[in-house]
Structure 1
């Protein structure tokens, strides 16, 4: 099973758990016993380093959903509600600090659900909850109940992770959907819904997609806010809180096809796109039914930091061709260009023609500017990472977050100015006094050894030179004569012979 469009499957195997008796069980589909209710006093322990990626502790009565320990990635531990036929996690606890899959962890229920690690540190819990039982409904909603009260003391539908399911209300006060990559968020405003990028731990959340409810009246301050709800008929509806009046519909491909027996979900995927899927009995994969953003080049990070997406074939290039022709072009930025003293950190500049931003309408902008004025507006601002200028309209769009995917547009009037953080030059490590002294002593020793070697070599050379000189004296006795003297001697010798 692929998660949406390619995430790895989660093998669902019933792990070996140490579970207390505070559970209510029913007969399973194959005669086994499945826990369908947890009571106060319940305890379950995650088997450290278990081979199974999911260890269920609680099941819905229809056997389609289960709640338990989930392995995230290769080594992290979380709690999740999983759709068993597809192995897809519909809900995750997503604590700020994930557990370690290779170490034991304990889940307890005593008025509230609590997950602790081996050192008894609390990883996650249902806050401000007093309950008597925990059940997993056939809708996939995990519920903590009080016997005497009809409303849940706590429910997972009020705390979504990255997915909405059928009949789950998504309101202005609901936590946003956060992609599992933690880079994107889906939020609801009073009259609209929007997709946001997440920078600096969520302190900066630029918008890259927005849909406003058609029949709302933004100017009416007394009008109640909208809420969203996934409908089995194949749409995501927006309604007014209170009366439930429908004000807009996002229709899916299967809208009004009267599909029966399907389970639907809407998920914010890791590429930043909001998609809807459905599952049918006997299926082998989720079927895509809707996506908010149609093209790859319209997604905010499809080509990575300082990437350029070319429409048509959705090819990726780099804004700065000197760093290569395809991503990754530059490292992802995690901080701004503002120093502690308010000054701007050093940066290099990349200028490029024929570039724009797919979501420029959602960026801060100024008009009636020249290209030079647009560049200056960003250059001196340490929170600005770039600017794109439209020479046809005079609009200047400022990018006040790390530069991500830009879009190629065949118009020489579309200009881009982008900052790239300069990497700090490597600093020379200053040695401690002790290390400095030891280094000096070692240097003196090496110099002494080198001098001794030179002296020994010289003595050996001198002995060999003297030996060669002695041999030459034995072969040629008497003093050497120059060529002139030798010539005179020879002439005298010849004269003697003639006489």
Structure 2
């Protein structure tokens, strides 16, 4: 090798090194870019009043990855739809953990990591070997190995509460929002609720119609996808969908980005962007009272009348409902841990999806629940004899036209007034008795102190039949003892 060739190669290597180093340095600030390289780091700007701090955008500037401010002081790592500012993806960070402060840091070192020096790692992709982070124009965030030309990780495989067009939703994934989740089964889509009880009720289920293709064993699991033609499709292969759930814009040639979101109320809704707003064009549950907890715990939903409370006396509050959220069971407290609330003319929402057992009477249905410490209540139909058991903290019931359906519900007892439930009559009487006892004790103590002071100052005398008389302490002691004995004798009479 000649000397000029060696110099030329060294110069080329140095140029490549400096180029990579400069690009890496430039990526450490929080200026929005279309590419993030290994070595990038960023922190939230406490002086920034905005609710979103962008770090990376897609080539069309439609989507952006950045810090999303939550409850003024908390932080989420999010991808937002820039024109609407609505999140389409959130990193699964433990709630109330990451703070909007300079100590919180996002680092890309082959893995994308959100952490702070005090709490450690909040979230990480757990990847190795990545040298580039990019955001595609369909909102998919990818970590790539440019040498091997492979995608090591992508946000489309870890959805939060939203699916966008062209994003496959498989049986290994779940949409989540609060206690609600959506999953795909062998030939169906389903919505579930986790109310922190013995069971997680299924409250919506859509089975594949199999009109254009059949679900067959050996062809792989079924997956779902939002199509640009305005429908939510279920597929087993790309040849044809096994099911089509049409949106309002189906086959109408309406242009615009589409997305499907699991909402905070547990409903599943589809939208398209008309360049100004998100237009609702699909709703899985159209009857509001059929939502899993439309009126909150121990609420009663009536068509056309809104929400009231099951106990028929607590005033429903739009912010607090009828009672605080419960969890667990009664297996540790026994029967002393609850009182029983009965209400006629109620039924469960989504009752077609709830298991039941046929029984001969309401008493039999109720007794079965009372003997089961994981049972929170039952609804019994006097017509059919169906006994529906509730294996989770009681949520919203639906008003029924007559009294043929009766609900029996356990309500957890409390030592004091909590949530929305009032202290019962027995509790009030007990508090009054205790209060009177304390007051009587204080009065007696006051009288004793006053007598003692009067005796000391010589302002009263103790005479026979009254109690105070002149004389030494021994005489006084004997007189008090005699008076006490007389009082005791009178009490016995």
How does the TM-score come out when normalised to structure 2?
0.76
Contact 1:111 1:129 in 2 (8 A): yes
User: Secondary structure at 1:127's aligned position in 2?
Assistant: coil
Which of the numbers 183, 193, 202 marks the counterpart of 1:187?
Answer: 183
In structure 2, the residue matched to 1:432 is none
Q: What is the distance in 2 between the residues matched to 1:89 and 1:105?
A: 20
Say yes or no: does 1:270 pair with 2:270: no
Deviations 1:258-290 (A, max 9, x none): 012x11111111111000111122x0x211111
1:225 aligns with 2:227: no
Deviation at 1:24, TM superposition (A): 7.8
| Residue pairs, 1:313-462, within 5 angstroms | 313-324=304-315, 328-339=321-332, 343=334, 346-424=337-415, 451-452=452-453, 455-456=456-457, 458=459
Match for 1:178 among 176, 185, 188?
Answer: 176
Give CA-to-partner distance per residue, 1:463-492, whole Å, 9 cap, x none. Answer: xxxxxxxxxxxxxxxxxxxxxxxxxxxxxx
Deviates more, 1:363-372 or 1:249-258: 363-372
Q: Structure 1, residues 404-439: CA drift from partner, whole Å, max 9, x if none?
A: 11001113211111111111369xxxxxxxxxxxxx
In the other structure, the counterpart of 1:280 is 274
Per the alignment, residue 111 of structure 1 pairs with 110
Instruction: Say whether residues 1:209 and 2:212 are aligned partners.
Output: no
Match of 2:143 in 1: 144
Q: Give how far 1:243 is off.
A: 4.9
In structure 1, distance between residues paired with 2:61 and 2:328: 46
Say if 1:56 and 1:68, in contact at 8 Å, map to a contact too. yes
CA contact (8 A) 1:21 1:42 kept: no
Contact in 1 for aligned 2:145/2:151 (Cα 8 Å)? yes
CA distance in 2, matches of 1:299, 1:226: 26
Q: 1:259 aligns with which of 234, 251, 254?
A: 254
Q: Number of paired residues?
A: 408
Deviation at 1:377, TM superposition (A): 1.7
> Residue 383 of structure 2: SS of its match in structure 1?
coil
Q: Deviations over 1:384-404 (max 9, x none)?
A: 111111222221111101111
- Given that 2:198 and 2:329 are in contact with CA atoms closer than 8 Å, whether structure 1 keeps it comes out as no
Do the aligned residues in 2 keep the contact of 1:269 with 1:275 (CA within 8 Å)?
yes
8 Å contact kept, 2:198–2:391: no
Partner of 1:53: 51
Query: What SS is found at the alignment partner of 1:46?
Result: coil
Structure 2 portions without partners, runs of 5+: 1-21, 418-443, 461-493
Distance 2:108 2:412 in 1: 49
CA offset digits 1:78-120 (Å, max 9, x no partner):
1000111101011000212530124531111111101112426
Matching residue within 76, 94, 107 for 2:92: 94
User: Aligned partners of 2:61, 2:149: CA distance in 1, in Å?
Assistant: 24
> Do 1:191 and 1:218's aligned partners in 2 also have CA atoms closer than 8 Å?
no
Give secondary structure in 1 for the equivalent of 2:186. Answer: coil
Greater shift, 45-54 or 266-275, is seen at 45-54
Check the 8 A contact 1:338/1:345 in 2, yes or no.
no
For normalisation by structure 1, the TM-score amounts to 0.75
TM-superposition CA deviations, 1:195-228 (whole Å, max 9, x none): 111122x974211111011119999654532100
CA distance in 1 between partners of 2:305 and 2:331 (Å): 34
Say if 1:445 and 1:376 are closer, same or farther in 2 by CA, change over 3 A: closer
Partner of 1:187: helix, strand, or coil? strand
| Unaligned runs of at least 5 residues, structure 1 | 1-19, 26-32, 427-442, 460-499
* Pairwise CA distance, 1:166: 0.6
Q: Deviations over 1:334-382 (max 9, x none)?
A: 2222218xx4552111111111112112222112532222111211111
Deviation at residue 156 of structure 1 after TM alignment? 0.4
